[in-house]
């Protein structure tokens, strides 16, 4: 009898693409076709600083940020993946987004050097309800991608309503005194890079940026996975 070499079943396995359900290689949540379709579509902003865009500046309510880098526009299928990651802590959605982040080259000359990454804090009660902070997860992915250390001293000390349900001045009032910085000496005279999943008007980033500037940071920029345009 011929003896066959032992092969692990996992090495022969295939997975299904999260978006189109075709077979793809193990360890990948998106197939090559879907990856190519997203990365070569108009939704790919390629870490563009949207503060340089007139259409973005008309929407954004932020004056404290030096830069605001975004990878994609918040359109299909990114909105689906982010919702599944954010509200359901879907592992396949997280793996798909991580695959896209790692596939898109980051040009060091486009992103101003920063001293630390700071995920937008989630209030403890929202974390208790959701069990997951998408900005915290994204900061881990970007920290490894950009080789920038994380600062974990930001806290959201006041429960706030979901920004997407509010408009105009109500968004600003909703975030009054919402954040607090611990270990202020750690960020004194530093360039802080805030991290969030989606930016719409930038009100949350503005409130957090002001908190860091008041605590002694030299500059504050932000990096977001998606920019949600307002119609």
Which residues are paired to 68 by β-bridges? 222
Per-domain residue ranges of the chain: 43-227
What does the pLDDT read at residue 163? 54
Length of the chain: 231
Tokens 């790919």 sit at which residue? 44
What does the pLDDT read at residue 184? 76
Distance, CA of 196 to CA of 68 (rounded, Å): 11
pLDDT tens across the length of the chain (231 residues): 444 444 444 444 678 999 999 999 888 999 999 999 999 999 999 999 999 999 999 999 889 999 999 999 999 999 999 999 999 989 999 999 999 999 987 765 567 789 999 999 988 888 888 888 999 999 999 999 888 999 988 888 776 656 555 555 665 566 667 788 887 778 999 999 999 999 999 989 999 999 999 999 999 999 999 999 887
Say if residues 85 and 225 touch (Cβ distance below 8 Å): no
What does the pLDDT read at residue 4? 43
Neighbours of 60 (CB within 10 A): 22
- Of 160, 172, 203, 207, the residue nearest 61 (C-alpha): 203
Buried b (16+ CB within 10 A) or exposed e, 151-179: bbbbbbeeebeebeebeeeebeebbeebb
Distance, CA of 222 to CA of 230 (rounded, Å): 19
What does the pLDDT read at residue 9? 44
Q: pTM for this one?
A: 0.86
Fold category of 43-227 in CATH: Rossmann fold (3.40.50)
What does the pLDDT read at residue 96? 96
Distance, CA of 16 to CA of 29 (rounded, Å): 7
Which residues are paired to 16 by β-bridges? 23
Cα angle: 12, vertex 81, 208; to 5 degrees: 130
Distance, CA of 159 to CA of 175 (rounded, Å): 9
What does the pLDDT read at residue 217? 95
């Amino acid at each position: 009898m011929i003896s066959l070499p032992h092969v692990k079943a996992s090495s022969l396995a295939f997975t299904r693409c999260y978006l189109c359900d075709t077979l793809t290689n193990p360890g990948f949540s998106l197939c090559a076709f879907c990856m190519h379709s997203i990365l070569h579509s108009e939704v790919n902003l390629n870490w563009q600083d949207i503060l340089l865009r007139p259409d973005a500046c008309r929407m954004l309510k932020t004056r404290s940020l030096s830069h605001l880098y975004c990878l994609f526009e918040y359109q299909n299928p990114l909105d689906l993946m982010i919702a599944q990651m954010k509200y359901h802590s879907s592992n396949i959605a997280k793996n798909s987004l991580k695959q896209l982040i790692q596939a898109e080259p980051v040009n060091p000359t486009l992103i101003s050097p920063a001293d630390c990454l700071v995920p937008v804090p989630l209030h403890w009660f929202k974390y208790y309800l959701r069990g997951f902070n998408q900005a915290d997860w994204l900061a881990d992915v970007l920290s490894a991608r950009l080789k920038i250390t994380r600062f974990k001293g930001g806290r959201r000390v006041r429960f706030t309503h979901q920004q997407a349900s509010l408009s105009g001045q109500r968004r600003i009032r909703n975030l009054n005194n919402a954040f607090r910085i611990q270990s202020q000496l750690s960020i004194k005279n530093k360039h802080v890079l805030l991290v969030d999943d989606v930016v719409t008007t930038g009100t949350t980033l503005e409130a957090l940026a002001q908190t860091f500037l008041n605590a002694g940071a030299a500059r504050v920029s932000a990096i977001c996975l998606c920019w949600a345009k307002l119609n």
